[in-house]
Amino acid sequence: MIKLFITGTDTNIGKTYISVGLLEEFSKLGLATLGMKPLSSGCYTENDKLISPDALALRKASSVKLEYKLINPFAFKQAIAPHIAAKQENCYLTKKKIEQAMLRMLSIPSDLTIIEGVGGWCTPINEDELMSDVITSMKLPVILVVGLKLGCLNHSILTAQAIKEAKLPFIGWIGNCIDPSMQAMSENIETLKFLLPAPCLGIVPYGHKLGHLNLEPMFRHCL
């Protein structure tokens, strides 16, 4: 069973877009796939339940269909930092609660389970714990989505250093071109390829689907 955690250099850089694309690519290979977003904010209400568009997209792209609550166990209305959103709704998030929800999901049979993070690597879940603490404790392999825009070099290098310090398998990174007017994009991509301690799994042009990805490192590290 392949288990992958998808983190990003920031919020709104295409983690869901890439996660959905990976689920679709692995499904094309005939694998049973599952996508999960344990924690989400900025949700809407439907039938008295809070729903995350990101979690819905993951559910739709998964070949194994599950009830929504398993895919997105912690959902909050306000589009703000999840620990603040949770506090406003009288919910106290903890590393243990999130781990338990993720372990329930990981116990469901599949060939590939993708867990999408919230925000960036160091997103707080309460005053003392970060989402990265959950992933470090569970020793999950990590893929980094780099939002290709001005500032991505600094964000990418800092995130990669944090993943390395956590002693987690850093499978690789995917560049997602979110700013079509970014200057010196190719030079930035080459810098990332040189400086990041993991292979580039692919570059997604602005407005395009995933296209060709190097899936081999995912199989090699996770099987």
Sequence-ordered strand ranges (E) for the chain:
2-8, 33-36, 39-40, 44-46, 49-51, 74-75, 112-116, 142-148, 170-177, 200-204
37 catalytic, yes or no? yes
The residue written with tokens 């929504």 in the block is 68
What pTM did the predictor assign? Answer: 0.94
Beta bridge mates, 172: 143
pLDDT tens string, the chain, 223 residues long: the values are 889 999 999 999 999 999 999 999 899 889 999 999 999 999 999 999 999 999 999 999 999 999 999 999 999 999 999 999 999 999 999 999 999 999 999 999 999 999 999 999 999 999 999 999 999 999 999 999 999 999 999 999 999 999 999 999 999 999 999 999 999 999 999 999 999 999 999 999 988 777 667 777 776 655 5
Q: 3, 15, 37, 95: which is the annotated catalytic residue?
A: 37
CA dist., res. 223 & res. 220, Å (int): 6
Residue 82 and residue 130 in contact, taking contact as beta carbons nearer than 8 Å: no
**Sign, Cα dihedral of 136, 141, 146, 151:** positive
